Structure 1
Amino acid sequence: MRRLPRFGRAERAVHHVTALLMFVCLITAALLYFPALAERVGQRDLLKPVHVWAGFLLPVPILLGLLAKAFRSDLRRLNRFVPADWAWLRSRDRRAVRDGLGVIPIGKFNPGQKLNAAFTAGAILVMLGTGAILTFPDPWPDGWRTGATFVHDWLFLAIAVIATGHLWYALRDRDALTGMAIGTVPPSWAAEHHPTWYRELTDDDQTPAEPRS
């Protein structure tokens, strides 16, 4: 069965390694943050350095990914909001590419994916900065350390919620999940969810078929 290329090795590697490091950060943070979990698991002396090192390593996959042309191309797509994105956000069904006026010309990434990428990038930078203050507290005044603790703790909870939602949406769409796992997707899925990107790949100027019910 014919499939369309969606993500190359560089994009998939950046996503998988970043997701793994984020997962380690979230799990170790939960074990360190909640006393009941910390007491049950123990090993605090081990958990803390694992959490710190995973946090400091989070930007590394993205920086290395910049060496790949395909990854840089995806970043440009993610950083660009177009009128179709606002139409998609106003639609009732966030999975649909149709509104009352017809097909919404969604490209390779829908607005939800763009917003999630922006949040993740910003969260990594903020967590890296506040984490550095908490890991090396001596140069910083008390007010900075208190503020860093507050931001770090609450942003951890926000990231946990967003990451859970991201995973939930991914598990609901097997073709999207497969696209990130092996790099290819069925043409029917591309035409249904990302019609503009589908036409870019296939040079098909015709309107995609009605989405599956």
Structure 2
Amino acid sequence: MTRLRRFTGAQRWTHRTTAVLMGVCVLTAACLYVPQLAQLVGRRALVVTLHEWSGLALPAPVLVGLASRALRADLGLLNRFGRHDRDWLRAVLRRDPRPGSRPAGKFNAGQKLYASWLAGSTLVMLGTGLLMWFTHLTPLVWRTSATFVHDWLALTMGVVIAGHIGMALADPEARRGMRTGAVSREWAEREHSLWRP
């Protein structure tokens, strides 16, 4: 079976490190807001510290990863939405199962939307988190608004990340590509027909 290079080591490291930091943020947030988990874990001050520092470090893997030409190229691909992406979304919304009905380049439209939404949400979470952390720098109304946005966006992010994990669990070849960096030619032709490695 022919294998195609999909991700470099730097790209996989960036994804894994970001996933670990995001996982720490989500788990510590759950321990801070769900009373049963808070009682089970205890040590609230430690959980808060882990949450704050992992949130603050969240942009670091991507910033370090920008040294990789391959990661910069992929970010460029994720940032472009073409006609084939609109066709892909229409096919998904119509639940069209026909082969070739969902044309995609290296990333499909769903992956592009997810990446863009998550990047923007992470920046909003970072900003609102900083407003909540440095309480002496802002008026009470700003902190209250930041807390509201932070909490509701965190819940939404948890749901969307769970969907991302579910999609990954449903596609073993995509997971293999993220784990090893290579995917089968058959999978690439079926799922990403416009991708030219």
Pick the TM interval, shorter chain: over 0.9
Normalized per residue, which structure has more helix? 2
Q: Deviations over 1:142-180 (max 9, x none)?
A: 110000000000011001000000000000000000000
Query: Which structure 2 segments of 5+ residues have no match?
Result: none
Aligned to 1:85: 85
TM-score, structure 2 as length reference? 0.95
2:152 maps to a residue whose letter is W
d(CA) in 2 for partners of 1:157 and 1:14?
A: 24
* Alpha-carbon distance change, 39 to 81 in structure 1, aligned in 2, over 3 angstroms: same
Aligned to 2:177: 179
- Residues 97 and 194 of structure 1 are in contact (CA less than 8 Å); yes or no, is this contact kept in structure 2? no
* Alpha-carbon distance change, 98 to 6 in structure 1, aligned in 2, over 3 angstroms: same
1:1-213 matches, within 5 Å, as 1-91=1-91, 92-93=94-95, 98-99=100-101, 104-197=102-195, 200-201=196-197
TM-score, structure 1 as length reference? 0.88
* Alpha-carbon distance change, 79 to 95 in structure 1, aligned in 2, over 3 angstroms: farther
Q: How many residues align?
A: 195
- Residues 106 and 194 of structure 2 are in contact (CA less than 8 Å); yes or no, is this contact kept in structure 1? yes
- Residues 21 and 55 of structure 1 are in contact (CA less than 8 Å); yes or no, is this contact kept in structure 2? yes
Cα distance, 1:123 vs structure 2: 1.1
d(CA) in 1 for partners of 2:151 and 2:62?
A: 24
d(CA) in 2 for partners of 1:3 and 1:84?
A: 25
Q: Which of the pair has more CA radius of gyration?
A: 1
- Residues 22 and 55 of structure 1 are in contact (CA less than 8 Å); yes or no, is this contact kept in structure 2? yes
Find the residue that maps to 1:185 and give its secondary structure: strand
Cα distance, 1:105 vs structure 2: 3.5
- Residues 25 and 54 of structure 2 are in contact (CA less than 8 Å); yes or no, is this contact kept in structure 1? yes
- Residues 95 and 193 of structure 1 are in contact (CA less than 8 Å); yes or no, is this contact kept in structure 2? no
d(CA) in 2 for partners of 1:114 and 1:41?
A: 36
Cα distance, 1:183 vs structure 2: 0.3
2:57 maps to a residue whose letter is L
Find the residue that maps to 2:178 and give its secondary structure: helix
Point out which structure has higher relative CO (alpha carbons under 8 A, 6+ apart).
Answer: 2
